[in-house]
Structure 1
Amino acid sequence: MSKGWESKSVEEQQSQAAAHKTAMTNNGDVDEAARKRQRQALELQRERVLSERTSSPHRRTALANALADIEEKLAELGWSIHL
């Protein structure tokens, strides 16, 4: 009788481990998708900043600071400049 109980317990543990692994994989997919969306949004912001032209030195400084901030955030996400 105890062998049957042990095998059911092991089977249940394996089932729970598989469910946990599946949940972690799904969470990883969700996290990866969120990081991808965030990276795309930052890339669009970067392109917008790069496309702006101004004669105001204050505005140019603000744009340079914004660009540096965006590129720092992108670097944290593993992004590098594509030449």
Structure 2
Amino acid sequence: MARGFESKDVEFQQAEAERKKAAGHALTKDERDALAKRRTVELSLARARADLEKARTPAHRQMLADAIATLESQLARKT
């Protein structure tokens, strides 16, 4: 009998999630594109920061620091 209640609860949660998606604001193509670009920059920034922590040579560290500065300025312009 407990399984029946669990099943109903899962069904309810899935239905709620679908309802919330449908009620949400649909993004335009331009908004989706801008969001995708922002996520790409954020991921690149996270990767560059992680690489900087592991980098040992000064030239590589400088290249990563420059890349991080560029990516941060791109994010600042998009907000």
TM range (shorter): 0.5 to 0.7
Aligned AA for 2:40? A
Query: Which ranges in structure 1 are unaligned for 5 or more consecutive residues?
Result: 1-27, 79-83
What's the counterpart of residue 49 of structure 2?
Answer: 50
1:14-52 CA-to-partner distances (Å, cap 9, x unmatched) read xxxxxxxxxxxxxx8111111100000000000100111
Q: CA deviation at 1:64?
A: 0.3
Q: Return the alpha-carbon distance in structure 2 between the equivalents of residues 59 and 42 of structure 1.
A: 20
Identity over aligned residues, as a percent? Answer: 29
Larger radius of gyration: 1
TM score, norm. by length of structure 1: 0.58
Task: Report matched runs for 1:1-83 at 5 Å.
Answer: 29-52=28-51, 53-78=54-79
Q: Return the alpha-carbon distance in structure 2 between the equivalents of residues 50 and 71 of structure 1.
A: 11
Aligned length: 51
Q: After the TM superposition, which parts of structure 1 deviate over 2 Å for at least 4 consecutive aligned residues?
A: none
TM score, norm. by length of structure 2: 0.61
